[in-house]
Amino acid sequence: MAVMISGRTLAQGAGCEDKMSPLYINEVSCCYLSEEDYRALGLSDGMNLLLTSPHGSAVLRAGVDRGLPQGMVFIPMGPWANMLTGTDTKGCGMPGFKGVEVEVTPTDEKVLDIRELMLRGR
């Protein structure tokens, strides 16, 4: 179990108004972990993760962010992070984009294309 935080990154911002571009899609479909968690899960380049929260699930690429503590994952804000986010706004209009509890497991499943992801289940 880990805590998921979503937020802005430079590449996410640079692709923000060109969201169908590979730059944006690659950036927002990546899940960053601490070096310790990355090693503990036996991950290496090109491996993917299945993230599951009480609100949904998604497959993302795995990356390392040395600024993260153990037990925390970071996903650049976008459609992938939002697969895991609930709609409850606690009465103030704002969903909980940070602090979502997620299960993180390595997977052989592929990361969906943005069209496949958005239209999944439709």
Q: Is 66 in the site for other proteins (CB under 8 A)?
A: yes
For other proteins, give the closer residue by CB, 89 or 106.
89
Q: Which of 66, 57, 77 is nearest to 32 (CA)?
A: 66
How many residues touch other proteins (CB under 8 A)?
51
Least spacing, CB of residue 104 vs other proteins, in Å: 15
Among residues 18, 35, 103, 109, the one that binds other proteins under rule CB under 8 A: 18
Q: Which of 18, 35, 36 is nearest to 27 (CA)?
A: 18
Binding residues for other proteins restricted to 24-53, rule: CB under 8 A: 28
Of the listed pieces 35-43, 44-52, 64-72, 105-113, which binds other proteins according to CB under 8 A?
64-72
Q: Is 54 in the site for other proteins (CB under 8 A)?
A: no
Whole-angstrom distance, CA of residue 61 vs CA of residue 45 = 9
Cα dist. 7→10, 27, 79, 82 in Å? Answer: 10, 12, 12, 11
Least spacing, CB of residue 115 vs other proteins, in Å: 6
Please check whether residue 116 is in contact with residue 25, taking contact to mean a CB–CB distance below 8 angstroms: no
**Which residue type does 98 have?**
K
User: At 82, is the secondary structure helix, strand, or coil?
Assistant: helix
| Residue ranges that bind other proteins, judged by CB under 8 A | 3, 5-10, 13-21, 28, 55-56, 65-69, 72, 74, 77-79, 82-83, 85-99, 114-115, 118-119, 122
